Amino acid sequence: MSKEGIRSAAEILRKGGALVKDACIKCKGVQVRYQGRLICINCGNESIAEEGRYVSLSSLRDIIVSKINELGDSLKGEDDISRQADIARLLIYYIDILSKIDESSKVEREEMRKRSKERRESEDDNESAK
């Protein structure tokens, strides 16, 4: 795994890239979709993105959590320091994704709450108008 790969994947997410459910065909890594391409955040493999295969945030969260668990297990059994560094970097990246997912679901929830509050208030207006 290259440092450049991780850096550019983080860059892609910042630019509005989307995480996808389909694993990389080469290494089974997590991929991001950007400008019609799928890019693996693990090995940097690029492929053409197919439309209509977006993943929901909650199922993506499950994928990331299971990846973190897998990485945790392999870190436990890893003696090679440079491999440990690779795993640790990937863990940081996954944890970063998790916090982004939690952030955006929080925003979604707040927007939903705001909308239902507005609806309640307009219903109250109707009540008092009677």
Q: Footprint of Zn ion on this chain (CB under 5 A)? A: 24, 26-27, 29, 40, 42-43, 45
Using the minimum distance from each CB to Zn ion, give the nearer residue, 83 or 109.
83
**Which residue bears the tokens 């990331």?**
64
Q: How far is the CB of 5 from Zn ion (least distance, A)?
A: 9
Q: How far is the CB of 29 from Zn ion (least distance, A)?
A: 4
Using the minimum distance from each CB to Zn ion, give the nearer residue, 24 or 64.
24
Collapsing DSSP states into helix, strand and coil, what is residue 18?
Answer: strand
Angle between helices 81-129 and 3-14 (to 10 degrees): 10
Using the minimum distance from each CB to Zn ion, give the nearer residue, 30 or 73.
30
Q: How far is the CB of 122 from Zn ion (least distance, A)?
A: 50
Using the minimum distance from each CB to Zn ion, give the nearer residue, 28 or 106.
28
Dihedral sign computed on CA atoms, order 59, 61, 62, 68: positive
Q: What is the DSSP string of 47-90?
A: EEPPTT-B--HHHHHHHHHHHHHHHHHHHHT---HHHHHHHHHH
Q: How far is the CB of 10 from Zn ion (least distance, A)?
A: 16
